[in-house]
Structures are given as structure tokens and as C-alpha cells.
Copies of this chain bind each other. A is one copy, B any other.
Amino acid sequence: MLIVTTTEPALLPQPTRAEIRVENVLQALGDPVRLVLVRALAAAPEGIACGEVPLPVTKSTRTHHVRTLREAGVISVHAEGTRRISTLRRDDLDSLYPGLLDGVLAAER
């Protein structure tokens, strides 16, 4: 007998929409490296492996930035085997803070 187990991608811990706080979101967004990640995620609704985004930082710094965004409620991260796929929590952010994310993404500088 062949047993096939399918596992859903595991969602890493994150605040619920009700737990998100605007000061945490602003702090998380207020970093040039994290803004690069957020812009890349905004352009890829299906999600991306943040490790694939070119960044001038070490792997451990990158990991720190991704965690900061996840814990603030800006992104969701799913573990798919050894891969970590991140997506922007656009619905949550647009619902809580209409215009904030669009304003940030529109910024030329």
C-alpha cells in the first residue's frame, strides 16, 4: 500500500490582523533594506523566497529583516521544506491602514 502524505506549507508565527499595531508596521517599514524586500514582494503577489532578492547584506542580517517584517504583521512566511516563501499581507494592511502601503510603495525616495 502506498501512503501519500500531503502537508500544507507551514505558516510561521505571525500576529493576527487584530494584533497588528501601526507603530510596529511603521518601524518595520522604516528601513531601506526592508523596503527593498517589501517592494519586491509587492511585485510578486504569489510570493517569493526572500533569499532570491538581491540585497547587500549577509544571510543572517537578511533573516533578521524578514523576521522583523513577519513579526510586525507586514508579511506572511510559509515553510515549504527548506524554502521560506514570503508574501505581503496587503489585504490586512490595506484594511487596517488604507493608503499607507500604497503611499510607501509610491515613494520615489
A: residues with CB less than 8 A from B are 20-32, 35, 96-104, 106-109
Contact = CB atoms under 8 A, between A and B. Distances in A.
A22 B101 CA distance: 12
Contacts of A35: 22-23
Number of copies: 2
Contacts of A97: 103-104, 106-107
B100 A22 contact: no
Contacts of A96: 107-109
B98 A22 contact: no
Contacts of A28: 30
21 contacts: A21-B109, A22-B107, A22-B109, A23-B30, A23-B31, A23-B32, A23-B35, A27-B27, A27-B30, A96-B109, A97-B106, A98-B99, A98-B102, A98-B103, A98-B106, A99-B106, A100-B100, A100-B103, A100-B107, A102-B103, A103-B103
